[in-house]
Amino acid sequence: MPYVDLHCHILPGLDDGARTLDSAVRYARQLDREDVLDVATTSHIKRSHFPHIDLHELADRRAELQDAIHAEGLNVTLHPGGELAHEDALELPDRDLQLISQGPKHAPWLLLECPFAGLNEDFDAAVERLTRLGYGLLLAHPERVRGPIDRLRPHTDAGALLQVNVSSLLGSHGPAPQEVAGKLVTNGRAYCLASDTHPGSREETLPLGYAALRRLGVSDVQAFRLTQSNPRFLLREGNPRLALPETEDRANSAR
């Protein structure tokens, strides 16, 4: 089963990820070679750092890159997304949040960035607002937060899922994030790994993460879950820890 990467800054010219279309396509070639065939396009949605991103343009930008990838004969499929900063999560209208939501229509979820500076009341408020609006949550790289992450416990108890970076597991951000990342993947708290790749500067792909998991003593089955089946489930079905409302389609398919 191919890998599924739910956090990747591959859309060119928007944030601190890929700078050009050529750079993005070059990275897509690597993804294709390494069997990472489903990739969410998660540019930073963080107006304090990237004020000029127009959320209404994202679909066209994604389509343009997808066309270029197909023109190269590559099998990589791009999916919608965005890495949402908690400050923006507190303010963006729901119609804008929908533009960066991931997963199926009946169970949308958002990739919410855990702030490097530390968890605080504003982050809690962002989680609460997004939950109230009906979104499941995948919390990006909790291991990179400065200070303790106990504050995440009520959110994960309520169904939020944790995503650990491959780069953290490999030690690219120093020993403290590496240690926390290792604990999260070995104690079962992490739901999935993602690359959080910034093509051109940081390019640790999921197969490297798979190998790092195995070196940590994570079983083959669990490493498969963290890099392939769990992210695929999120992409296709949504957050498995949340009760999904029954839609007409679901009701019909159950009959």
Site residues (CB under 5 A) for Fe ion?
A: 83, 196
CB 152 within 8 A of CB 161: no
Residue with Cβ nearer Fe ion (140 or 152): 140
List of residues 6+ apart from 249 with CB closer than 8 A: 106
Q: How far is it, in rounded angstroms, from Cα 202 to Cα 246?
A: 41
What is the closest distance, in whole angstroms, from the C-beta atom of residue 181 to Fe ion in the complex?
Answer: 15
Q: How far is it, in rounded angstroms, from Cα 23 to Cα 177?
A: 28
Residue with Cβ nearer Fe ion (38 or 196): 196
Residue with Cβ nearer Fe ion (139 or 242): 139
In order of 58, 79, 142, 183, 204, the CA distances from 145 in angstroms are 28, 26, 6, 14, 19
Q: How far is it, in rounded angstroms, from Cα 220 to Cα 236?
A: 23
Residue with Cβ nearer Fe ion (166 or 226): 166
What is the closest distance, in whole angstroms, from the C-beta atom of residue 196 to Fe ion in the complex?
Answer: 4
What is the closest distance, in whole angstroms, from the C-beta atom of residue 140 to Fe ion in the complex?
Answer: 6
Minimal CB distance to Fe ion: which residue? 196
Q: How far is it, in rounded angstroms, from Cα 248 to Cα 252?
A: 6
Look at residues 64, 85, 56 and name the one whose alpha carbon lies nearest to residue 18.
64
Residue with Cβ nearer Fe ion (142 or 242): 142
Q: How far is it, in rounded angstroms, from Cα 80 to Cα 42?
A: 7
What is the closest distance, in whole angstroms, from the C-beta atom of residue 111 to Fe ion in the complex?
Answer: 8
Residue with Cβ nearer Fe ion (192 or 242): 192
Look at residues 81, 9, 69, 120 and name the one whose alpha carbon lies nearest to residue 235.
81
What is the closest distance, in whole angstroms, from the C-beta atom of residue 195 to Fe ion in the complex?
Answer: 9
What is the closest distance, in whole angstroms, from the C-beta atom of residue 251 to Fe ion in the complex?
Answer: 37
